[in-house]
């Protein structure tokens, strides 16, 4: 009973912030709002006396599931053709944060793991999970990622449209379906798909956690569901409310670590974070032109697929901007998998 009350308390201190940012229509409202609200509680001494055991594990599994099920059998042929470009984009986005992270560490005295995780474009929830696992400053990492994502979501559609008008290319439009028409899922097939996805995510998450991987439950759940989905198993994600709840819970967990010293660092890092964001957007535009020259894809697809945003947010707006949603999702997904495979051991080796 005490565990359940603590778990409910964890969400209760995060929900006010989520609702406030949602009302303001800000990006990543569930996680960032919950983190800010929870941080306020923590600084005032009203936070949880003890985090409920297993909460972090459970939240990681749910978030990993939502990423993994994005890999579909239909994406296999596109992935095979796009693999060289996807790995080029991944290497491109791993090289810049190494330089930016080193400069941020040298100029502002942050530890290297916090600087690297704050500058790599891996997503707010995903990089915050790694920060918790690698003993980095998760609150600062989340704030740096938030500013980057907000700038990309606000500025990139405008910049992309302006560049596309100058080039004068037509929009990509909706890709034509290939193969047999998609079957309508029945209620029973939806339940089976969700049960299979949840089972695989739990098993993968427990395996990753047992293996001691950084953010092991997230990585394991993401890998298990992704491998099963690309192999042809028809998985169905949980209702989107579960992802929102997991983001609120994770934001609350991060916010509980806030102290007056952390808030002072966030204030001091505001302008440098804006400068880093501008450098990352420019780096992404350069990559977009390189990808366009290599593949001949529509320019808007290249711009949205290579910019330093989150997979969920950019995939959802890709089609209305005239980009190919499948290619956008694939490049961001490969980048996220590569970051989780390469960055944690790299940070551990550098800090050893």
Euclidean distance between the first and final Cα of the chain, in Å? 42
> Kindly report the CA angle at 163 between 160 and 167, in degrees rounded to 5?
135
Assigned domain for 177 exists: no
CA-CA distances (angstroms) from residue 284 to 35, 71, 113, 306?
Answer: 28, 23, 22, 6
pLDDT, tens digit, 9 for 90 and up, residues 4-40: 777 788 888 889 999 998 898 876 688 778 888 888 8
Share of the chain above pLDDT 70, in %: 84
Please state, in angstroms and rounded to a whole number, the distance separating the CA atoms of residues 329 and 311.
6
User: Hey, what are 307's tokens?
Assistant: 């910019």
Contacts of 59 (CB under 8 A, 6+ apart): 246, 249, 250, 253
pLDDT, tens digit, 9 for 90 and up, residues 157-201: 677 777 777 776 555 544 444 444 445 567 788 889 899 999 999
Assigned domain for 179 exists: no
Is residue 49 very low, low, confident or very high in pLDDT (cuts 50, 70, 90)?
A: low
In this structure, the number of other CB atoms found within 10 A of the CB of residue 315 comes to: 21
Whether residue 76 is predicted with pLDDT greater than 80 in this model: the reply is no
For residue 195, the model assigns a pLDDT of: 92
For residue 217, the model assigns a pLDDT of: 86
pLDDT, tens digit, 9 for 90 and up, residues 114-163: 888 888 887 777 788 888 888 888 888 887 887 777 777 667 767 777 77
Lowest-pLDDT range of 7-11, 43-47, 127-131, 298-302: 43-47
| Inter-residue contact 215 to 132 (CB < 8 Å) | yes
User: Hey, what are 200's tokens?
Assistant: 């695989």
Say if pTM beats, i.e. exceeds, 0.85: no
Please name which of 337, 333, 324, 316 lies closest in space to residue 72, comparing C-alpha atoms.
333
Assigned domain for 233 exists: yes
Assigned domain for 341 exists: yes
Count: domains in the chain: 1
| Inter-residue contact 270 to 143 (CB < 8 Å) | no
User: Hey, what are 347's tokens?
Assistant: 């940070």
Q: What is residue 320's DSSP assignment?
A: G
> Kindly report the CA angle at 168 between 322 and 325, in degrees rounded to 5?
15
Lowest-pLDDT range of 51-55, 71-75, 80-84: 71-75
Please name which of 253, 246, 241 lies closest in space to residue 37, comparing C-alpha atoms.
253
> In this structure, which long-range contacts are made by residues 159-166, counting pairs with CB atoms below 8 Å and at least 24 apart in sequence?
159/281, 159/285, 159/303, 160/300, 160/303, 160/304, 160/307, 160/321, 161/300, 161/321, 163/285, 163/299, 163/303, 164/299, 164/300, 164/303, 164/322
Range of 328's domain? 2-172+185-351
pLDDT, tens digit, 9 for 90 and up, residues 200-248: 999 999 998 898 777 788 888 888 998 898 888 888 888 989 988 988 9
For residue 202, the model assigns a pLDDT of: 95
Assigned domain for 314 exists: yes
Find how far residue 336's CA is from the centre of its chain: 7
Contacts of 289 (CB under 8 A, 6+ apart): 302
Q: Residue with structure tokens 């209760």?
A: 12
CATH code: domain of residue 95: 1.20.1530
């Amino acid at each position: 009973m005490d565990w359940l009350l603590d778990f409910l308390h964890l969400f209760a201190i995060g929900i006010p912030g989520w609702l406030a940012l949602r009302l303001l229509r800000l990006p990543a409202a569930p996680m960032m709002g919950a983190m800010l609200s929870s941080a306020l509680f923590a600084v005032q001494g009203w936070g949880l006396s003890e985090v409920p055991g297993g909460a972090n594990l459970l939240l990681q599994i749910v978030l990993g599931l939502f990423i993994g099920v994005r890999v579909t059998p239909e994406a296999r042929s596109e992935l095979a053709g796009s693999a060289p470009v996807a790995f080029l984009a991944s290497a491109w986005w791993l090289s810049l944060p190494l330089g930016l992270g080193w400069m941020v560490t040298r100029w502002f005295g942050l530890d290297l793991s916090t600087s690297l995780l704050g500058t790599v474009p891996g997503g707010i929830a995903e990089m915050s999970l790694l920060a918790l696992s690698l003993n980095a400053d998760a609150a600062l990492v989340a704030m740096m990622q938030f500013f980057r994502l907000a700038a990309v979501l606000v500025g990139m559609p405008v910049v992309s449209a302006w560049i596309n008008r100058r080039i004068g290319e037509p929009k990509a439009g909706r890709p034509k379906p290939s193969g047999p028409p998609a079957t309508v899922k029945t209620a029973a097939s939806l339940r089976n798909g969700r049960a299979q996805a949840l089972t695989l995510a739990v098993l993968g998450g427990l395996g990753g956690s047992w293996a001691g991987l950084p953010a092991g439950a997230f990585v394991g759940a993401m890998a298990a569901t992704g491998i099963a989905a690309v192999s042809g198993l028809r998985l169905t994600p949980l209702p989107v409310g579960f992802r929102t709840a997991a983001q609120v819970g994770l934001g609350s967990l991060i916010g509980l670590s806030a102290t007056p010293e952390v808030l002072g660092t966030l204030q001091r890092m505001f302008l440098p974070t804006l400068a880093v964001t501008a450098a990352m957007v420019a780096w992404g535009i350069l990559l977009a032109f390189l990808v366009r020259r290599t593949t001949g894809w529509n320019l808007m697809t290249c711009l949205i697929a290579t910019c330093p945003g989150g997979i969920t947010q950019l995939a959802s707006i890709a089609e209305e901007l005239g980009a190919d949603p499948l290619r956008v999702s694939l490049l961001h997904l490969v980048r996220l998998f590569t970051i989780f495979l390469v960055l944690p051991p790299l940070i551990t080796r550098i800090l050893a």
